[in-house]
């Protein structure tokens, strides 16, 4: 993945998570929706996995953003939103 002309190395799961966000811009995606979109079969997946992997993805994207606003935001009580115009 390239962000602001900087190559960002993602694991396959982090890439699927980013794809889920990019395909649903400006929509709030709940934990359950992300589990379905990214993990497919959510059985056996801990509820905190979404939070954990969103954190991983943010940490990898942040240096490449070069001071630009993080496009993935937390919507408390609902889930996460990817804003395509943030980066």
Per-residue pLDDT of the chain (87 residues; tens, 9 = 90+): 888 888 999 999 999 999 999 999 999 999 999 999 999 877 778 878 999 999 999 999 998 888 888 999 999 999 999 998 644
| Confidence (pLDDT) at 31 | 92
Euclidean distance between CA atoms 71 and 87, whole angstroms: 6
**pTM across the whole model:** 0.89
Which pLDDT score is estimated for 57?
Answer: 96
Q: Residue 20 has what pLDDT? A: 97
Measured in whole angstroms, the distance separating CA 80 from the mean position of its chain's CA atoms is 8
- Strand 2-3 and strand 6-7: the pairing is antiparallel
């Amino acid at each position: 993945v390239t962000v602001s002309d900087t190559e960002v190395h993602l694991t396959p799961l982090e890439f699927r998570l980013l794809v889920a966000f990019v395909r649903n811009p400006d929509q709030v995606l709940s934990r359950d929706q992300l589990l379905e979109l990214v993990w497919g079969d959510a059985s056996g997946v801990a509820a905190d996995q979404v939070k954990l992997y969103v954190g991983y993805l943010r940490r990898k994207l942040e240096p490449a953003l070069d001071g630009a606003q993080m496009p993935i935001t937390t919507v408390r009580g609902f889930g996460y939103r990817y804003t395509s115009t943030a980066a």
